[in-house]
Amino acid sequence: MGETVVLCAASEVVEGEIRQAPLPDGTNVALYRVDGAIYATADMCTHGEASLAEEGIITGKTVECTFHFGTFDVTTGEPTGMPCEIALKTYPVTIVDGKVQIEV
């Protein structure tokens, strides 16, 4: 069982935007809302030093990293477009009292 981290209010995660939130280990997660549900992935692109929250564009469940136009499915973390080949780490999300929580 991992550690539970409370990130932000669920209302702060809106469709079409990417919300960055810090983790206790100093890395960040990126939060997305897709079809009403919230998903969390590592914020750092697996191809380079790009923050998806800062540099990415979310369309449906696909986040595009604008550094080299690689893409990932944010619901699974799987890479869906070159040059990205390594999956993003994903975190299980729960909403408790209107706040986004993940297990790390």
Are residues 52 and 46 in contact, defined by beta-carbon separation less than 8 angstroms?
no
**Start-to-end C-alpha separation, the chain:** 9
Please identify, using beta-carbon distances, which residue of 67 and 104 lies nearer to ligand FES: 67
Please identify, using beta-carbon distances, which residue of 84 and 100 lies nearer to ligand FES: 84
Please identify, using beta-carbon distances, which residue of 10 and 43 lies nearer to ligand FES: 43
CA 61/CA 79 separation, integer angstroms: 12
Q: Which residues bind ligand FES (CB under 6 A)?
A: 45, 47-48, 50, 65, 67-68, 70, 83-84
Give the residue at shortest CB distance from ligand FES: 48
Which ranges constitute the DSSP H helices of 36-86?
A: 52-55
12-17-82-39 Cα dihedral, nearest 10 degrees: 30
For the bound state, the minimum distance from the C-beta of residue 36 to ligand FES, rounded and expressed in Å, comes to 27
For the bound state, the minimum distance from the C-beta of residue 65 to ligand FES, rounded and expressed in Å, comes to 3
For the bound state, the minimum distance from the C-beta of residue 88 to ligand FES, rounded and expressed in Å, comes to 10
Write down how long the chain is: 104
